Amino acid sequence: MSGISYNTLVTQIRNYTEVDSNVFTTDVLESFILNAQQRIMMDLPMDSDRFVEQGTMATDVNTIRVPAGALFIRGVEVFNATNSTEQGTWLERRDQTFLTEFVGRLTGPEGSTTSGADVTGKPKYYSMFGGATGLSDTTSGSIYLAPTPDANYIFRIYYNKMPDTLESSNQTNYISLNFPQGLLYACLAEAYGFLKGPTDMLTLYEQKYKTELQKFAAMQIGRRRRDDYTDGTIRIPIESPPQ
């Protein structure tokens, strides 16, 4: 199986379960497919979901917006106020309580400064506030900075983003093209859960999904993140019979 489209996946779910469109309506199947994609995305963050966004900090403003659709932040890099081609400085991630203590001020429950002094300079630390799962810039949460920027520093946010979902208006995506077996098995597990049995079929496809996930993970977080020059060639030990 080299890839699968939305329409083909819909047909396969109905064929494998032997359930027609009277029970597995389009809405029901789209729910299966969405839940399966969400599960795969949570089980295994993929390289295809990695993005970088660049912006400019505002002087005397101690927050920047999390990019729209971000699932989690992998790192924040800060450059000089006028040049982003030089070597950047990576911020250290800390809890918000650490940043509050660092800048020496009291912060209210909604992030508003209530009293105390401020510390300005080139940011060294960051923390998350308000989540990072919104689909727009106004609902995606914030990144708190310490010290508060004393200039318009350029920054880059490295993050994983919510991928385009597989649906009738989007026939293929990275998961359907590169992990079709796992996607199918995850959908079948959803389908048999919906049908409330048979239990042995639910168990079968759960196990098949987990087996395929291990193979895909070996590629995504194994082979794709190493090379022979830096890490050496992978060698599998072969046991020899005792002499």
pLDDT tens by residue, 207-241: 999 999 999 888 887 777 777 777 777 777 777 77
Convert the pLDDT of each residue in 168-178 to its tens digit: 899 999 999 99
Average pLDDT over residues 196-203: 90
For residues 97-102, average pLDDT? 86
Residue spans of the domains in the chain: they are 6-46+165-225, 48-161
Query: What DSSP element (H or E) covers 232?
Result: none
Using DSSP's 3-state secondary structure scheme, residue 203 falls into helix
Q: Which residues contact 240 (CB under 8 A, 6 or more apart)?
A: none
Q: Which two tokens stand for residue 126?
A: 């960051």
pLDDT of res. 112: 46
pLDDT of residue 138: 52
- Work out the burial of residue 147: count CB atoms within 10 Å of its CB; fewer than 13 is exposed, 13-18 middle, 19 or more buried: middle
In this prediction, residue 231 carries a pLDDT of 73
> What is the Rg, in whole angstroms, of the alpha carbon atoms belonging to the chain?
24
Quick: pLDDT tens for 136-169: 555 568 899 999 999 999 999 999 987 888 998 9
